[in-house]
Amino acid sequence: MTLSAVQLAEKQLDAYNNHDLDLFCSCFSDDVEVELLVEGDQLMQGMTAFREAYADRFSHPDLHAKLLNRIAVGRVVIDEEEVTGLGDDVLHVMAIYEMEHGVIKKVRFERASSK
């Protein structure tokens, strides 16, 4: 059974908050692309780089993303989140997830520190 875009966004968020790297990565395509929204800078491409980046992130025991708002249209989900546990700052994050063939194909982020 293929998850809806909203179910997939929820599954990856739950895995993120549980620091479950395998489950988290299973929500994304092998050729996942991650970039910054405004600058367009590519942060990573492909599962190897993605897994390494999130293995490092999940090493922070207090890491947590609180969902503030979610908008879903078709195969796109936009989450507004508050991320804590990566230091003293609270990150205000907007993540745009593009789904394709039952997995997340592309993620674009915009983030700001709100200490």
For domain 5-113, the CATH class is alpha beta
Q: Token pair 């993303």 is at which residue?
A: 65
**Per-residue pLDDT tens digits of the chain, which is 115 residues long:** 567 999 999 999 999 999 999 999 999 999 999 999 988 899 999 999 999 999 999 999 999 999 999 999 999 999 999 999 998 899 999 999 999 999 999 999 998 887 5
Cβ neighbourhood burial of 41 (10 Å; 0-12, 13-18, 19+) = exposed
Amino acid at 20: D
Domain ranges in the chain are 5-113
